[in-house]
Structures are given as structure tokens and as C-alpha cells.
Structure 1
Amino acid sequence: MLHFLNTFLHYIYRDIRPPAKRKRGGLNAQAALSWKTEKDTDEAPPKIEFCPARPPGVQLISADTHTPLELFKLFFTEDTVGTLCQNTNKQAAGRAAKGCKYKWTDVGVNEFYKYIGLIFYMAMVKLDDIKDYWQQNCIFSVEFPAKVMTRDRYRTISWNVHLSDPDEDRVNDKKRGTPEHDPLFQVKPLMDIIRTASQALYHPRRNLAVDNRLVATKAKTGKYMKATPTKLGFKLFVLADSSNGYTVDFAVYTEKENFHKRLSYDSVMSVMNLSYLGPGYHVYMDDFYTSPKLFRDLHAQNFAACGTFREKRKDCPRNADNALIGRSGRGSFRWIRDGPLVFVQWMDTQVVSVCSTIHAAFTGDTVQRRVKPRHGARVPETFPCPSPVTEYNRYMGGVVDLSNQLIQYNTAQHKTMEWYRKLFLHFLDIAATNAYILHKELTSLRQQETMTHKAFMEELTAQLCCVSHTAKQPISDHVPVPANISKVASRRTCILCRMDKGKTQTTPWKCKECGVSLCVTLKRNCFEEWHKRH
């Protein structure tokens, strides 16, 4: 009887049950449980007017010509390098007071630029160890570094290079374990200068990309990163212009800023500056960052966004009816609209999930894929593709590779045990790469030929070291020749051995141009020493 009553009441009240609660992220019950298909039409949200704070592009006079060194010095100014020299000299003096036994003389601005030039040279010419750049009397020897500075001088500058005031470092170290402690204090001065210069010299175009960049280090201060070979490194969140890979802004991950609680959200918000950029920008990102909350908050600040998403991320639709399955044909897609957000799933070789506040679900875009029929070779075939997927591949897929390639090609990174020096080297990479992109933009405006990245770095290295890498060395007649060209061997007294040591040392060699007899042996090269003096 009781069972019959419950069944009767169920049929009576089934149509007057309370309304379903809104699902995660604001999706109502009906929308959350049913994906729409290709046959359903969708409308894009109202476009946000693009009003950049400055005219996009290089913020320099396009008619002016700039050498690679002049562009690089816009990021590493002489005042900035002068401050680095002061901090480096103070650090060396402090270590000498503690008993470090190496020869030290204060480094100046010009010498520090040469030191940076050698760092870039080593990025262009790869050898296994720093000391290999100064080895002599070997078929693998390179002559250039020894002409700029000695090996010991380069190493002592490397040991002592310091970005912040050592006295202020000690004050900050005393705050360790308190909220006032700044874990990035030793790199903040230079990092802020590079960030400010990057934003002042260039204003990005409409489409931006957010990505992370890893700087590996073995230092204990580094943050644990699974993707790095050393399992230790620093994660940088980078905002780049999708059109050319220019690094507009970046932030270094620190636990102090509570990034570990809302890492994906805060990292994007930290580099999206409305007052600097202006409204109407489109920002693209991968599934590490994408969340409905982030996209709604960006939309509230007049930024539109697009990115791949993870189904398990909070507020994203999942377990919905009519979803794609493994048997869905290639090119099939489903979508759900929730206010300004559209969630799209598209079947390629596997399911691709994209969320956007910019696009409609589908506007007729297609892609070509090479497919293999049952018999025969692969043939191209056209498949429909949702607009968010097409635009994501256009503005995110290419820029990540472009930006990272420009940074990684000829990177200044090499082994060092000081964590802050690893970031210093990465700041050099950012400055040099941004300087090259400025060069490309300026030469394009003047309709002039643009140097390749490799040629730009070679010229920058030469100018930092105060040499010309294009100048050919004149052919000299000062070469050793036999003292007597007759069949009878002849030995004469070496003039340098007699002058310096008062010894009578015979040699079969003389200078072709000078006619002076000089020793040329493995242990004694009077020929070279004589021509250095004369």
C-alpha cells in the first residue's frame, strides 16, 4: 500500500518539481546535458571595440636607423649596466674580505658590455666547457675570446656578477620566513627594467598569446618543474604578440604571490594590464590557463579570450548528452553556448576542446587533412572546422613556436650554480630577441632588407666586443721561412734570445719580410713575440 502511494504521488507531482539548479559555471540543466550539433546555428557575442592605448607597433621614429647595439642598449642602457657594475664590484669586494683568493679589479661599463658580448659569442659558437674557448695550440682552438679578455677575467666577472645591492640582499634575507621577504629580490631591479623597456618600446597588435617558459637550474632556489630535464627550474608566464613573438610582458612564478592556489588564473591576470594595453584585445592560451571564471573576468575588463580547455576543469561542461564519442567521424563537432562563452568539441585524430568569448561556434571554416583510404596512398581531404579551433591554431600554435624558437636559438644559457644568474642570462635573451624584432619591424616600415636572426646576433656580438666581424684580415708578409734556401742547412742566432736572455740560440728560421732570425719551436715562439713588439 505504501509503495502504491509513493508511486501515485510521484506521477502527480512530477510536473511541478522545483526548477533545476544552475550547473557549474552557470550552465543551466538543459544546456549542460545536451551538446548542439553542426546543424544548429550560433551567433558570436557582441564584439568589443578595439581601442589600443597607443598606435600598435614600434614606438620609435621609423625614419631613424638603429644598429643592433643601439637597439640592444634600449633594454640594457649604460645607466643600467653602470648599476650592474656597482653591484658586481661590491659583491667582489665582499667576497675578497671573506678570504676569496682571486685577483680582482673593478669592472667598468665598457668591459661589462664586452663581457655580455662574450656571452652571446659563446651562444653562437658552442663548446663543451668555458675553458675550451681559451685553449691554445690545438686544432679546435678559437682565437676571438682571448682577444677580448682573459679567461680568468671572464670567470671572475661571472662569479661576482650581481643584479641587486648586496647590502640590501642581507636585509631581505633577514626577513626570510615572513610575509615581507621577497624571493625575487636579487633579480627584481633588472627584471623591472627589462619589463618596462619592453612595454615602452613596442605596443602589441590585437592578438596576444599567453604561454609559460621554463628556465632550468640546479640551484636549490629553483621551483620544481616536471617538464625540465633537471627537474628544477623557474617558470615564467609570458605575454607575447601573436604576429611576431615579441615578449610584451612576463612574470616569474613565486609561491609568495599565492600563485600556487590560483596559478592558472593569477598568472594571466598579472600580465593583462588594461591601462597599458587598452580594451578590445584578444588573448589566446592553452588548457593550463583556460577556465570559465578567467574568461568571464577578462570579458568584464573588455578583453576577449580563446583557449583549449580541460573537461575536468571547474565549471566546464562534461558528461553531457549528445557529446562526441570515439566513433564520431573526423570533422564532427558539438558546441554549447553559455552567455559570452562558447564551448566547442571537434573531432580530429582525437577530440579537441576549445572555449572562446570571441567567436561563433561555426562560420563555415574548413581544414585539409591527409587521410589514408583502405587501399592506396594518403590523399588530401577537406573537413569542417569550428571557428574557435581555426583561430586558436592561427594565433596560438604559431606564436608559441616562434617566440620560443627565437629565444632558444643561440640562447645565452649555460651552466651556473647561481640561480639569479640563470635569470640574468634569460633577461639577456629577452632583450636581444626583442631588439631583433624591433629591427625587423623598423626595416619593414622602411621597406629595407631585414637581417636574419643569426646575422643580427653576429653583428650585435661584434659591436658589443668593439670589433668588426666583416672586416677581412690583411695578408701579411711577416711569415717564417728557412734562413737559407740552398740545399745546405743554415742556422743563425735568434736575435730575441740574444737581446732578452743574452744567450746564443741558433734557429733555421727567419722572417720573410724583416729578414730577422727568430726561433719557432713548440716551447719557444720568438717569432710571435718579436712581431708583437715591433
Structure 2
Amino acid sequence: RWRTEAEPDDGVPQSLTFNPKRAPGVQPPLNMGSPSPGEIFSHFFSAAVFKLLCENTNKNAAKNLERGKKFDWSEVTPGEMQKFVGMLLYMSVLDLPRMSDFWRRESIFHVAFPATVMVRNRFMSILSNLQMSDPEECEENDKKKGSEDYDQFHLVRPLMEMICMNCKSIYHPRQHLAVDERMVRTKARFGIKQYLKGKPTKWGLKFFVLADVNGYIIDFILYKPNRASGKGLSFDIVATLVDKDSLGSGYIIYTNNFFTNPILFRHLRQQGFGACGTYRQGRDGTPTTQENALTKTSPRGSIRWIRDRELLFVKWMDVREVSLCSTVHSVFSGDIVDHYVSGDGAEQKISLLRPTSVTEYNKYMGGVDTSDQMIGTHSVPRKTMRWTVTIFQHLVDIAATNSFIIHTDRCDSMQQNPMTRQRFQEQLTAHLLGVKLKNVPQIPPGQKHLPVPTRSEHTEAHKAGQGRRRCRLCHRSTAWMCEACDVGLCLQPDRNCFWQHHQGHSLQ
């Protein structure tokens, strides 16, 4: 039967000894001094990451050219790829409806800076050919479709594994961790796209995330249908994320009712981990007895509990019934919570008993939600129908957010005031783009608003017509253009469109 908080609990399991593999917190060399945003980010998107992106993107571009696709291409370098990532972060701070709007001219919404870093066509070419895995290996993987050896995520796996490894190496978590789901919005037509009714982002790619209480993402797994073993998907996900070899022992894992499973919690306890989470009624291994259980008429603050060896099942009546399972907490340790209720035309404060597991769950479960909030503040993702680009943009988000958390952690340890998230991302963007943050955009070096021929080399036979452009203002054919604006403009005694364009006038 369910017992009340007044009844003794003689079966409290032995307390865990916290024994992490490394000292919790920021790891060397970032744990010394106050590293800059660019220095922190370079440990996530390292030289090896940029080398991987450049090699595979160049191979993919060459492959697309062989197929007959028409676009201008020169091999992308790590420095240029770094500027490409910087432009994505720039777009996350200065949000415009479409990517092309950052290069729009002749508008009151004109933004001058992006064109000084990278021309639009080059940015779009890199984006359209962006590749995270070797194209030849992808072809070999495609031949395995329908077999157990086929990897559905081969296109993104190399980069995901590198970012996961970097996340683990740069920071070691403290004792309390949370496992939760995350939805990444996408309109791509892909078989793994999920629908979650209770999430703000209802359609998208689903990730399972392990996070510290401060929001730092330690590890993540992209959801794959039909991957569950005989113990269930929730068991497989948590058992994979909570790795004793990399974490150590003595950690306490907090989960929601999707993951909470008595079999899983017992397995974690055997591995040296504690666990606490809300659970669903009727799940295998949870109590089914209704003797002395809570009812809808039970007063707020009522507590009922059952212990099954190391498992403690607790019910607590708040506004509605709350059900938790824990392997590390006692039933009640004197926690009191104040609530305000309306009565007789005025609010009255009442004090309620609260189980220890509820207090600890509320305190430590929000790590993934904290990360989601920070990512949502300045999110990189732009609209795309390619699911691989969606994941790439999300990996940039994870790296930028984890970098900011490391910055705040270092500032706290040095008793300094950290930067705001926006200021941090602005400095990071400036570093990646290779410019100073306080910078007045100028015309690209060596360019001025001067009239130049649309084509300098002509044969004598084609001197009159070859290489001419349409005038931006009168739309007639012209042999003249502006060197800086790169648009055709007439330069005739009776039709000086060049002068009118730069004076901000238009033809009637």
C-alpha cells in the first residue's frame, strides 16, 4: 500500500560517492585566465573540423560540376570556411527574412557590410555544396540501403561525432545532469522528421540531449526510428548518453516521464549512477496498488510513497498529482514550499510539505531547457529544405552556446561580470570574419565608384556588342558599369544613369 510521509523509511539506499573522471568544470587550456569568444569557439570548430568541411565540400562541388551543374567554383579554404560560419552567426544576430537580403542594394534596408566579406554568389555556392562526409563514402553507403549496415545519418555523422567529442573534452560536468528531448525545426522532407504535440517546435528533427544544470550540452543523439533494443528506446538512449568510461561515477541523472523506467533506474544504480524522474502510470515495474493512494479530493501537500528496494515511488498533490521515481532521495527531509491561494476576496499564503525528490527535480532538471532558451535567443538556422544543412546550423548553435557557457563559467570563477549573450556572439562573429567589432563598412579594397567598361577584352569584330549589360535604371544595353556596385549603368551625354544612380534618383 501507499504510505504517508509520517511513516518511517528504513530502506533508503546507500548514498553515492561522487567520483568524476576529471575535475568538473572547464578543462585546460581554457581554465586559465579569461579566453576570448573566438578562442573558446575554436576548440569546438577546430582546425580539424574546418579541414573536414573544406575537403568534403570541394569534393562535392567537383562532383556536382561533373554532373553538369552550372556555377562558378574555386576550392574553398579553411579561412574562407571560417568566414562562411561567421556569416551564419552574423545572420543570427542581424535577422533578415531571406539570406539574399544581406546583399540587397538600392534599398533603405541595404546592409553594406556582408559584401565586404564575401560576395553573395560565393556564399550561396559554398552553402549549396556544403558537405560533412566524403562523397565517395556516401555512394558506398547508399549501396547498402535496405540492409543493417546502411547508415541513415552518414551525411552528417563525421561532423556530429567531432563536435560531440569536442564538447566532452573541453568541459567536464558537475554531479547533476538532465536527459531530455529537443526539437530542431525543419521543413525538409525526410523520414526521421517527428511531431511532438507538447513542444513549441512541433515538427522537426528530434535530438536526445545530455546537459549540465547550467545548460552546457555534453552529448546528443539524433533520433533514428526502429533503433530500440529489447529493453526499449528510452533505456537505449540514456544508457548511451550516460557513459561511465567518460563521466566517472556518482552522477545523478534527471529524466522526464518518457525516459523514467524502473529497469533503466536499476541499471544506472548498478553502474554507480543515481536517477530521479517523473513516471507514467501503468509502466512496467511501477506500483499498481490503489490502497491509500492519492485521489482528486486529496488536500494539497499530501504525500504518499512506496519503496521497492532501491526504487522510491512518490506521489505528491500540488495543483494536480505529481509522480516521481528516485534511487537517491529520501521521502521527506523537511522541505516546505509556500503557495498563494485565493479566498474570501484576498490571497492567502499556505505552507505545504514537499518531497525531497520534487525539490531536487525542480532544481536540476532544467539543463536542456536552459540550453534551448539560449539557442533560441540568437539561433543560426535559416530556412532550408536540406536536412543536412539544418543539422550543420544546429551544430554551430551548440558550439556557440557552449562557448558562451564556458565564458560565463570562467567569469564567475574570476569574479568578473560576463558579457551578454548578444555581445558575446557579436565578438565571436567579428573574430570569425576577421574584422574588428567597431568597424565602419567600407567599399572592398581597391574599388571605388568609378565607371569602367563591362568587358575590357574584345576582339575587333565583337567590340560593339560583346559583354554589354542591362542598365540598372533605364534597362537599355550599355557597355559601362560601376566598379564598386558591379551593375550596368549608361554613361551618355543625354543619358547619364551612372550619375543618377549614385545621387539616389530614378528615371521617371
CA deviation profile, 1:234-290 (whole Å, cap 9, x unmatched): 211111111x11111111111363369711111101101111111111110110100
Deviates more, 1:77-86 or 1:249-258: 249-258
Q: 1:187-336 residue pairs with structure 2 within 5 A? A: 187-227=156-196, 232-242=203-213, 244-255=214-225, 257-258=227-228, 262-336=232-306
User: 1:35: Cα distance to partner?
Assistant: 0.3
Correspondence for 2:117: 148
Task: Choose the corresponding residue for 2:500, options 501, 517, 521.
Answer: 521
> Is 1:237–1:250's contact at 8 Å kept on the other side of the alignment?
yes
Correspondence for 2:457: none
Deviates more, 1:59-68 or 1:195-204: 59-68
Query: C-alpha separation between the residues in 2 aligned to 1:503 and 1:141?
Result: 28
User: 1:415: Cα distance to partner?
Assistant: 1.3
> Is 2:227–2:233's contact at 8 Å kept on the other side of the alignment?
no
Task: Choose the corresponding residue for 1:81, options 45, 50, 65.
Answer: 50
Query: C-alpha separation between the residues in 1 aligned to 2:235 and 2:287?
Result: 19
Secondary structure of 2:20's partner? coil
User: 1:151: Cα distance to partner?
Assistant: 1.5
CA separation of 1:506 and 1:173: change in aligned 2, threshold 3 A: closer
User: 1:442: Cα distance to partner?
Assistant: 1.8
Correspondence for 1:409: 377
CA separation of 1:163 and 1:377: change in aligned 2, threshold 3 A: same
Percent of residue pairs bearing the same amino acid type = 41
Correspondence for 1:41: 8
CA separation of 1:173 and 1:147: change in aligned 2, threshold 3 A: same
CA deviation profile, 1:32-75 (whole Å, cap 9, x unmatched): xx100122122531101111111111112433442211111101
User: 1:130: Cα distance to partner?
Assistant: 1.4
Correspondence for 2:99: 130
Secondary structure of 2:192's partner? coil
Secondary structure of 2:324's partner? strand
CA deviation profile, 1:395-428 (whole Å, cap 9, x unmatched): 11x3233121112221111211211111111111
Query: C-alpha separation between the residues in 2 aligned to 1:231 and 1:451?
Result: 32
Q: 1:46-125 residue pairs with structure 2 within 5 A? A: 46-61=14-29, 62-125=31-94
> Is 1:217–1:230's contact at 8 Å kept on the other side of the alignment?
no
Query: C-alpha separation between the residues in 1 aligned to 2:175 and 2:406?
Result: 17
Task: Name the aligned partner's letter for residue 77 of structure 2.
Answer: G
Secondary structure of 2:183's partner? strand
Deviates more, 1:313-322 or 1:456-465: 313-322
Task: Name the aligned partner's letter for residue 207 of structure 2.
Answer: L
CA separation of 1:99 and 1:259: change in aligned 2, threshold 3 A: farther
CA separation of 1:133 and 1:317: change in aligned 2, threshold 3 A: same
Deviates more, 1:74-83 or 1:286-295: 74-83
Secondary structure of 1:237's partner? strand
Secondary structure of 1:334's partner? strand
Deviates more, 1:415-424 or 1:288-297: 415-424
CA deviation profile, 1:122-180 (whole Å, cap 9, x unmatched): 11122211111111121122222222111111111111100000011000000010011
> Is 1:222–1:233's contact at 8 Å kept on the other side of the alignment?
no
Task: Name the aligned partner's letter for residue 354 of structure 2.
Answer: C
Secondary structure of 2:184's partner? strand
Listed as ranges, the gaps of 5+ residues in structure 2 are: 443-448, 450-479, 482-488
> Is 2:25–2:174's contact at 8 Å kept on the other side of the alignment?
yes
Correspondence for 1:389: 358
Task: Name the aligned partner's letter for residue 106 of structure 1.
Answer: E
Secondary structure of 1:400's partner? helix
Secondary structure of 1:257's partner? coil
CA separation of 1:403 and 1:69: change in aligned 2, threshold 3 A: same
Correspondence for 2:417: 449
> Is 1:224–1:231's contact at 8 Å kept on the other side of the alignment?
no
Task: Name the aligned partner's letter for residue 187 of structure 1.
Answer: V
> Is 1:208–1:395's contact at 8 Å kept on the other side of the alignment?
yes
Query: C-alpha separation between the residues in 2 aligned to 1:179 and 1:501?
Result: 64
Secondary structure of 1:467's partner? coil
Secondary structure of 1:378's partner? strand
Correspondence for 2:429: 461
Correspondence for 1:426: 394
Task: Name the aligned partner's letter for residue 401 of structure 2.
Answer: T
User: 1:379: Cα distance to partner?
Assistant: 2.7
> Is 1:291–1:313's contact at 8 Å kept on the other side of the alignment?
yes
> Is 1:238–1:250's contact at 8 Å kept on the other side of the alignment?
yes
- Verify: 1:157 aligned to 2:87, yes or no: no
Task: Name the aligned partner's letter for residue 369 of structure 2.
Answer: D
User: 1:501: Cα distance to partner?
Assistant: 9.2
The higher radius of gyration belongs to: 1
> Is 1:259–1:267's contact at 8 Å kept on the other side of the alignment?
no
Q: 1:353-372 residue pairs with structure 2 within 5 A? A: 353-372=323-342
> Is 1:306–1:357's contact at 8 Å kept on the other side of the alignment?
yes
User: 1:519: Cα distance to partner?
Assistant: 6.6
> Is 1:68–1:436's contact at 8 Å kept on the other side of the alignment?
yes
> Is 1:35–1:335's contact at 8 Å kept on the other side of the alignment?
yes
CA separation of 1:129 and 1:362: change in aligned 2, threshold 3 A: same
Q: TM-score by structure 1 length?
A: 0.81
Query: C-alpha separation between the residues in 1 aligned to 2:492 and 2:398?
Result: 58
> Is 1:63–1:446's contact at 8 Å kept on the other side of the alignment?
no
Deviates more, 1:204-213 or 1:43-52: 43-52
Query: C-alpha separation between the residues in 2 aligned to 1:459 and 1:100?
Result: 37
Q: TM-score by structure 2 length?
A: 0.85
CA separation of 1:100 and 1:315: change in aligned 2, threshold 3 A: same
Query: C-alpha separation between the residues in 2 aligned to 1:442 and 1:365?
Result: 32
Deviates more, 1:458-467 or 1:62-71: 62-71
Secondary structure of 2:249's partner? coil
Deviates more, 1:121-130 or 1:266-275: 121-130
